[in-house]
């Protein structure tokens, strides 16, 4: 039962208003700073009244950081990570919930434990693998003596090498495995009635048809919610793109914001940097607005 009284209504709206102000205040400060010229933005305290140089700063930020190609790179990376996470998480959870094989619970908990190993913790071994994804196979060949045997028989030295640095594959692939998505799908699949599974089986549906024709349509809200969250997460990645992209043609928009901040000794052009920040935050904001309805349904939906 929800109690409605004037005092509780007022208190609830007060909390909502305070939360709204806390969320919107940084965005307002960024927008106002992006509208000032260099002298006004470095005043202490900075005026909170908008200036007249907003579009000039936007144009300068766009050309200085070359944000057009960088935004495209960010979109490809974020969309690839979101799609990869949705697909792999759905398949993994489907295997754990609907197939009976030894160790499936243990495998699930192994996946779940990886929540405690974010990318920043395992970034060195991840970088080593991306630098040469065939290095584990080369190690196996060396340890088993097969590379030596092949060299003696054929005279060909076995040296496996496939680097993914400065590539979209290298940007996307290490980020698509997720325990969060697997857990979300597993919890949803567990709520699907057994009668639905039995009915599909009686109609002659195999595992693949049951997954594609029944489970995926039921999971579209979860897919939208997970895809939205992962798109935002991948879009905001800074460390991984900075580490593996030495070629500017594969740099992302978030990492290129540093081009707008002068080096040590220069005058901080915060108006240009804030204008670039507004440009970079615009695409994920559009995604959230467009996906808001499915995003909320995916987090709270229980109907099957």
Q: Chunked in runs of 10, what are the mean pLDDT values of the chain (304 residues)?
A: 76 92 92 90 86 91 90 94 91 90 87 83 86 83 85 81 86 84 86 87 87 88 87 91 88 87 72 92 90 74 52
- What span, in angstroms and rounded, lies between the C-alpha atoms of 203 and 211? 14
- What span, in angstroms and rounded, lies between the C-alpha atoms of 22 and 167? 38
Residues 6+ apart with CB under 8 A from 140: 146
- What span, in angstroms and rounded, lies between the C-alpha atoms of 90 and 151? 43
pLDDT of residue 32: 92
- What span, in angstroms and rounded, lies between the C-alpha atoms of 158 and 142? 9
pTM over 0.85: no
- What span, in angstroms and rounded, lies between the C-alpha atoms of 182 and 89? 4
- What span, in angstroms and rounded, lies between the C-alpha atoms of 63 and 130? 31
pLDDT of residue 70: 92
Tokens found for residue 229: 């969250």
Using CA atoms, how far residue 172 sits from 74, 236, 258, in Å, is 10, 13, 22
pLDDT of residue 131: 87
pLDDT of residue 72: 94
């Amino acid at each position: 039962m929800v109690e409605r009284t004037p005092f509780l209504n007022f208190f609830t709206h007060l909390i909502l208003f305070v939360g709204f102000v806390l969320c919107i205040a940084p965005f307002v400060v960024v927008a106002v700073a992006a509208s000032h010229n260099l002298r006004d933005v470095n005043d202490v305290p900075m005026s909170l009244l908008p200036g007249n140089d907003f579009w000039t700063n936007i144009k300068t930020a766009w050309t200085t950081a070359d944000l057009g190609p960088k935004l495209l790179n960010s979109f490809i990376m974020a969309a690839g990570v979101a799609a990869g996470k949705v697909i792999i998480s759905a398949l993994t959870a489907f295997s754990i919930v609907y197939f009976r094989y030894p160790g499936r619970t243990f495998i699930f908990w192994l996946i779940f434990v990886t929540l405690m190993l974010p990318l920043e913790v395992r970034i060195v071994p991840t970088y080593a693998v991306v630098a040469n994804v065939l290095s584990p196979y080369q190690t196996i060949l060396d340890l088993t003596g097969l590379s030596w045997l092949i060299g003696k028989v054929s005279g060909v030295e076995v040296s496996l090498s496939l680097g993914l640095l400065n590539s979209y594959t290298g940007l996307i692939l290490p980020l698509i495995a997720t325990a969060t998505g697997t857990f979300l799908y597993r919890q949803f699949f567990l709520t699907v009635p057994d009668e639905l599974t039995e009915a599909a089986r009686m109609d002659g549906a195999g595992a693949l048809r049951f997954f594609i024709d029944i489970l995926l349509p039921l999971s579209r809200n979860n897919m939208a919610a997970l895809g939205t969250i992962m798109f935002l997460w991948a879009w905001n990645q800074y460390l991984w793109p900075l580490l593996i992209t030495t070629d500017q043609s594969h740099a992302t928009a978030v990492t290129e914001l540093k081009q707008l901040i002068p080096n040590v000794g220069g005058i901080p052009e915060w108006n240009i940097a804030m204008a670039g920040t507004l440009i970079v935050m615009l695409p994920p904001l559009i995604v959230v607005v467009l996906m808001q309805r499915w995003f909320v349904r995916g987090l709270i939906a229980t109907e099957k």
